[in-house]
Amino acid sequence: MKLNQHLKDWKQIISYRFPRLSLPQISGLATWSFGMVMTQSSSLTKVSTLIAKVNQEPENTVRQRLKEWYKSGEAKAKKGNKRASMEVTGSFGSILQWIIDLLPQTTRELPIAIDATSIGQNFTVLSVNVLYRRCAIPIAWKVVRGTEKGSWKPYWKQLFQSLKEIVPQDYLVIVSADRGLYASWLYEEIVALSWHPFLRINHQGQYCISDSSSWQPLATLVTPKNKNWSGQITCFKSNPIDCTLLAQWDDDYTDPWLILTDLNPVEADVRWYGFRSWIECSYRDVKSDGWQWHKTRLRQPDRSERHWLAMSVAMLWMLTLGGEQEISDAQPLIDDHSSASFPIPTLTLSCFINGLLTVIAQLLNGQSISFGRLFPLPLNHFSDLHFSNSS
């Protein structure tokens, strides 16, 4: 086999960023993620066909190698006794560290969203995602069967623990989640990481202002006329939690935003919750706009988790290129890479699609594989913007 030079360059990048993986695991991750980008698909058939053509080797050989990669944790599915299993959880910290390394030195903010998405009745994917320029990068995930019963609590705890102590302590990490995921243990789990929950709750229930014994309905806290409120409270009579409550009800909202956080009212802005809507955009990138994962024929959760590792790496690659292109369209890059200096151009394409088009153009122009940097939009950039009423 004569390895394609572009694929060889990409393999070197993957090898540097995932030092704990074995050489076969690195090769599989590089091949899968490279193939996904070039075919805009996570299909085994499409990726193996492309790689076979560029490496000038039998398609069935490539197909078998790619299958063995996502089966690499299953002793019965592997050939040979020396193949090491790959626990995808061990790579979550490497992805997050990669993102931190790509951020400007002046950056001290990191918006994160957790969410659950389903693929029909086959799977539910629980994911932790770094939010970036109206897109999101999965950094930790758990795939469960769509029909599986039981609590997700152990899975979420494991995901958070896999990311422990990666982010510098002086970062402001905001973790948002919609109303369907709120739980007091989730709030406490996020705080235990020295991160800050930004969890939306329903307007049922009651609250009590600090130093008061009077309980009031959450539904009366804000109205379309009295649009904003913030303060330190005890929320819920059953399973009470001492926290800060941020509330906002804009004119075209169906319901108010009620956000629980551990930050002081003067330190937080309820509109930061608008970042969470970017997770919905990322599902389009994983599915119809990008990797076509909604068409997957995989049915085993652990194999799907390894597939998601390749999709996450491919996503990060595209967003670094797409983000740099957005900045280039707005104004030239500056030496210190200060994200606050870059206005947002009028966007006709997502950061993800921009990245896909950029890498194709680079290769057609005979350029080598490149990997960009990350230029996040600061939290205060959105303080005066209006967000839709995402759940």
pLDDT by 10s per residue, the chain, length 391: 567 899 999 999 999 999 999 999 999 999 999 999 999 999 999 999 999 999 999 999 999 999 999 997 665 544 554 455 678 999 999 999 999 999 999 999 999 999 999 887 889 999 999 999 999 999 999 999 988 888 999 999 999 999 999 999 999 999 999 999 999 999 999 999 999 999 999 988 999 998 888 999 999 999 877 889 999 999 999 899 999 999 999 877 788 999 999 999 999 999 999 999 999 988 888 888 889 988 899 889 999 999 999 999 999 999 999 999 988 877 544 444 454 444 555 567 899 999 999 999 999 999 988 889 999 998 886 554 444 444 4
| Alpha helix segments (H runs only) across 233-339 | 278-286, 301-330
Q: How many CB atoms lie within 10 A of CB 380?
A: 12
Q: How many CA atoms lie within 13 A of 29 on its CB side?
A: 30
Residue type, 42: S
| Helix 23-39 vs helix 5-17: crossing angle, to nearest 10 | 120
Distance CA 175, CA 195 (A): 7
Q: Which domains does the chain have, with CATH numbers?
A: 1-86 (no CATH), 89-391 (3.90.350)
